[in-house]
Amino acid sequence: MNVRKGHMMKRISLFAACVCLVVGWAATCAAQSAPPPRTAPVQTLAPDLRAKLADSLARAAAYLRQQQAADGTWEKHPGITAMAATALLKQPGTSPAEQLRVVGKTLDGLAALAKPDGGIYDKDIPHYITAVSVMALVAGGRPQDKPLIEKARGYLAAALLDEGEGVSPTDKFYGGASYGGATAERRADIISLEYALRAMKESQVPASNAAWDKAIKFIQRTQNNSETNDQAWAANDGGFVYLPGFTYNTSGGTQSYGAATYAGLLSYSWANVKRDDERVKAVLKWVRNNYTVDENPGMGQKTVYYYYMVFAKALQAVGEPVIADAKGQRHNWREDLGRKLLSLQHPEGYWVNEVKDEMQDNKVLVTSFTMMSLEAILQK
C-alpha cells in the first residue's frame, strides 16, 4: 500500500514538474512573441508626475491641432509639417485611427511630395525633409504609404556619402549625410546623419545593409575618442562635435557639446552598436560628466529643445534609467527632464526657445521636439 502510495506521489510530482515546465516554456514564448506595449509604464516615474506629463502632452497636442492649416500642413514648411505629424502620431494613449483623422491629409500632402528617385521633399534640404517625412509616414502606418517608404529608405541609404559621390573611405565625410540637393556639397554632419539613420531604422532598413557600417565610420569620426577616431584633432572626452574637426561649442576648438553628443549616441543606437561597446561606453562617460537638463552643454540655451529631444531619445534607446554624474549623484533623467519641461510649457500648451537659432523661435517645431521628448520619457 505504501509502495503504491509512493509511486502515486512520484507520478504526481513528475506530472506537476512537466506541467510547470510546459507552462513556463509557454509563458516565455508568449513574452518573447508579444509586441511591446505602445505605452509600457515606466516604473521609475512617479505616478503624479506621470499624470502631469500626460496632461502636458495632451495640451501640446491640442496646441498643434489648433495651429494646423486647412490643407493639413504646419507653417507652410514640409519639415515642420512632418515633425508635427510624427509627434501627434506617436502620442501615447491615442489610437492611430484617432490621430489619422487629424493628420491623414498631412500624410497625403507629404506623399504627394515624393519624387521619382524616392526622395520626399519640396525643394530645399531634400535629405533632411525626406528623413522626417519617412518618420511621419511610418508613424501613420497606412498601407498605401508602404511603397513610398520603401523607396524613400533606399534614397536615404544611398544618400550617405560614399564612393558613389566620389568620397573615399579615408575622407572625413565618408558615411555621413549631407543636406542634399541637385548641387550638393560633399559635406556631412552628425545631426543630419541622426535624422537619416532614425528614418532608416524606423522604416526597417535591414541590419545587413552596407549603409550602417558606412554611417558608423562617420559617427566615429565625429566623436572625441582617439581610440576609434582616426582624425588628428580627436581628444578623449567621449563626446561629439558637429562634423569632423568643427564644433558649435562656444568655447571653440573641437570641444564636444550636448546636442551633437546625444545625436551621436542615438546614431550609434540606430546603427546597431550595443550599449557594452567601448564607443558607446565612451559617450556615456561624457554623459555622466556633463549631465544637465538646464542647458545644452557647450551651447547654453541655443537649440536646447533639440537637445532635450535627443537627450531623451538617446537615454531611452540605451536603456539607462538612472545617470550617476561625475560627483556620484544619481539622477532619474525621466523625472529631471519631465519636471523641467513642465516648468517651461506655456499656458497655451506650446514651448518656444528665446534663442531663435535653428528655427527654435518656431512654436510648432519646438512643441513637436518637446512632445517627442515627453513621449520618450513616458515610454520604456
Partner 1 sequence: MREGRVGCRDGRGAAAWWLSAVAFPVVALAAVLIMDDQWRLWFDLPRLARSQIATDALLLETVLMVIVAPLGGVALVMRRLRRRDPLMRKQSETGALHRAWTLAWPLCAGAAVFAVTSAILAWAVLGRSSDPLPLIAMSHAALCAATLALATGGAFCASVLSDPLDAAACAVGLALVAAAGLLVAGPGVGNLPTVVIDAALQASPIVAVASAADIDILRMDALYRLSPLAHVRFDYPHWQATCGWYVGLAITVFVAMTRVFDRRTHA
| Min CB(362)–partner 1 separation in Å | 7
Which 3 state secondary structure label does DSSP give 374? Answer: helix
**Number of residues near partner 1 (by CB under 8 A):** 21
150 or 357: CB nearest partner 1 = 357
49 or 359: CB nearest partner 1 = 359
| Min CB(185)–partner 1 separation in Å | 6
Q: Binding residue for partner 1 (CB under 8 A) from 150, 320, 336, 358?
A: 358
Q: Choose the binding region for partner 1 from 1-9, 65-73, 119-127, 261-269 (rule: CB under 8 A).
A: 119-127
Q: CA 254 to CA 242: how far, in whole Å?
A: 9
| Min CB(238)–partner 1 separation in Å | 24
Q: CA 219 to CA 242: how far, in whole Å?
A: 10
* Under rule CB under 8 A, residue 117 binds partner 1: no
Q: Binding residue for partner 1 (CB under 8 A) from 11, 38, 346, 356?
A: 356
Stretch 208-247 residues interacting with partner 1 (CB under 8 A): 246
Q: CA 232 to CA 245: how far, in whole Å?
A: 9
| Min CB(183)–partner 1 separation in Å | 4
What does each C-alpha distance from 373 to 22, 31, 151, 200 come to in angstroms? 42, 28, 28, 20
Q: Which residues pair with 331 in a beta bridge?
A: 323
Cα Rg of the chain, angstroms: 23
Burial of 185 (0-12, 13-18, 19+ CB in 10 A): exposed
179 or 289: CB nearest partner 1 = 179
Q: How far is it between the farthest Cα atoms of the chain?
A: 94
Single out the residue of 162, 176, 189, 302 nearest to residue 245, CA to CA: 189
Look up residue 169 and give its three cell numbers. Answer: 573611405
Stretch 157-186 residues interacting with partner 1 (CB under 8 A): 164-166, 179, 181-186
Q: Binding residue for partner 1 (CB under 8 A) from 10, 38, 123, 274?
A: 123
For 236, residues 6+ apart whose C-beta sits below 8 A from its C-beta are 224, 225, 226, 227, 282
Q: Which residues bind partner 1 (CB under 8 A)?
A: 123-125, 164-166, 179, 181-187, 246, 356-359, 361-362
